[in-house]
Structure formats: C-alpha cells, structure tokens
Structure 1
C-alpha cells in the first residue's frame, strides 16, 4: 500500500465469524485413509467420516506421511464441528510424526483462531508457510483472520490480497476485502 494511505476495516467480527479455512492432506492408495482424505477435502464433518480416519489409523499400515496426513484430515473434520481441542490434539500428533508437514501447523493455527488465540495462531501459520503447504492461499486467509483478531487491519488486508493473488478464483478472500476501505488522508497545510 502506498505511503500516506489509511486503511479502515468495517465489521471486523464478521470475518472471524466466517471461520478459518482448512487445508486437508491428500492421501492416495485406497482404503480408509484415502476415504478419510476425500472426506476432509470435500468438506465433510460427520462422525462417519471421522470414523474412516479412526479406522485408517487403527488398522492400516501407513507410511509416516500418510499417517501424519490422516491425523491432519481427522483434525480438519473435527475442527469443522468446532471440536478445537480434539482437532489440536490431532494436529499435534501429525507434527510429532512428521515435523515438516506444513498443514499440521496451518490447521493448528486455524483451530487457535476458533479458540480466539490469535497470536499463537499467527506463529503456527507462519511456521506452516515456512515448511510449505499444498494450499498457501488458505494459510494467508487464516493469517488474515488472526491479524483481524489482533486488530491489525493493515496486515489482514495484505494477507487477504496475497490469498487472492495465490487463488484468484477463490471468492472468500475477496468477500472479506470488500469490508475494507482505503483512503488518503487530507493534505496538511
């Protein structure tokens, strides 16, 4: 944003109420882990989908990436039901198994947003972005929500802009940016 511009945010609580974006991990190869992955990717939140993840974790021989990804996916399903504590426990397991899995951190940050733990959320999302994630636009969107929670409208504005740049067809960041007004201050005499 050019120097001398002022940013105003309208109805900040509306964006936070919209909820954080979840980033699932694709697990392929059939079986319950694959079904759990598809459920997380397609937005499911029901107990049956969670049960598929449970079944995969309990019975399938998964490599470290797929086991960590299945924990992330189960956490995403739980987070959609606002079961933040249980979701965070899954993300903790995922990063314990595979510390370089960025989605584990980004989703833990999203769960922290649900708990209004905005500063902790920022740290988690930044760490996830450092490791890399399959859907970075969702990470920037979540970081924008956390910045709004911390009443940092300028940082939120730029994170929404980055989300749009990375995923131009995703409408949610643009909807949030519509609440912002950028004005030039009156010239001083």
Structure 2
C-alpha cells in the first residue's frame, strides 16, 4: 500500500461548517478546525490520480456547501477505490449536512468497517448518533475516538471528544 498525505483535503475539511440541530449544534460549534493533518494508506490503483482529484473536489464542494455534488464525487472515489475511508468520511459529512443522518451513520459505519481504528470515523459517527437520539451510542463513539486520538498523540482532538461527552451527559 502506498502512503500519501491528505493534508490539503483535511485542510479543506477542517473549514467545513456543518449546521447542526438540537444539542448537537452547541457541541459541534465548539469544535474549531477539528481535523489538521491525516496521513492515509490507500490501495494502489491505476486510477489513483482520478481518485485523488475526486476526493479533493468532494471536500472542496463540502466547503462550498454543495453537498449533493460532493457526495457524487465521493461516490466516484468509492468506485475507483472501494476501501478509501476518506471517501466514506466525506460522504458521511455530506449526508450529515443534508440532515440525512441515517445515511451519514451508514457511511461512517462503512469507513469503520474498513478501518476499525479510524478515530475521525468514530468522532463524526458520535455526533450523527446524537442527532439520531442515540445518546448512549454517541458517548461510546466519542469515548472510542478520544482513546484513539490519545494513542495517536492528538491530545487536542481527544479533549474535544471528552468535552462533547461531558456536554451530552449533562443534557
């Protein structure tokens, strides 16, 4: 497997303003630039350049709040690289932004099936579960995200997950 840096994509992702409802809105708005730098391992592909282009464009479209177009781009990545966790993450964020919470959860589930230690997948699925009124599942996902972020040395992200857990427990 080849490694490549998705810093550009993650920088775009970090500026996405996801509009939330209910208690998730107050939790999420406390999250400044959740993602900074992530390195991914992606299977070799004869269409790797196309997949990277669709992935970047998908995150750009999320930033522009063109959620349907973003989801279409992430679907193209999935056709080219079915195990690309970032395509499922982006697709989940698009569905979340469209308030298609069940679809978003399924997208995050797919990312986590491929990569069970994908902290960002747990983090975002936690907020999605909160929107689906599954507070227990939200807390479990955020706790897992916090543990994985801590293990990776991403202590700021671990703290954000812990703070979200505290707010959910108090609500």
Above 0.5 in TM-score? yes
2:166 matches 1:178: yes
Match of residue 15 from structure 2: none
**1:106 corresponding residue in structure 2:** 89
Task: Flag the structure with larger Rg.
Answer: 1
| 1:65 and 2:48 correspond | yes
The answer for unaligned runs of 5 or more in structure 2 is 1-21
User: TM-score when scaled to structure 1?
Assistant: 0.62
Deviations 1:54-94 (A, max 9, x none): xxxxxxxx942342133112211221232211111110110
Residues 16 and 112 of structure 1: CA distance in aligned 2, closer, same or farther (over 3 Å): farther
How does 1:11-30 map onto structure 2 within 5 Å? Answer: 11-15=23-27
1:25: Cα distance to partner?
A: 6.8
Tell me which residue corresponds to 1:59. none
- Cα distance between partner residues in 1 of 2:63 and 2:162: 22
Q: 2:149 aligns with which of 159, 163, 167?
A: 167
Counting matched residue pairs gives 138
Matching of residues 9-48 of structure 1 within 5 Å:
11-15=23-27
User: Structure 2 residue aligned with 1:75, among 46, 55, 58?
Assistant: 58
Measure, in 2, the Cα distance between the counterparts of 1:136 and 1:161: 13
Other structure's SS at 2:169 match = strand
Tell me, yes or no, if the aligned pair for 1:26 and 1:69 is still in contact at 8 Å: no
TM-score (norm 2): 0.68
Highest RCO, 1 vs 2 (Cα 8 Å, sep ≥ 6)? 1
Could you say what the CA RMSD is over the residues aligned between the two structures, in angstroms? 2.9
- Name the CA distance, whole Å, in 2 between partners of 1:80 and 1:138: 18
Unpaired segments ≥5 residues, structure 1: 1-9, 28-61, 183-189
- Where in structure 1 do 4 or more consecutive aligned residues deviate above 4 Å? 16-27
- Mapped partners of 1:64, 1:18: distance in 2: 38
Deviation at 1:97, TM superposition (A): 1.1
Taking the aligned partners of 1:147 and 1:104, their CA distance within structure 2 comes to: 20
Task: List per-residue Cα deviations over 1:94-134 (Å, max 9, x = no partner).
Answer: 0111112122112101111111111111111111111228x
Cα drift, residue 148 of structure 1 = 0.8
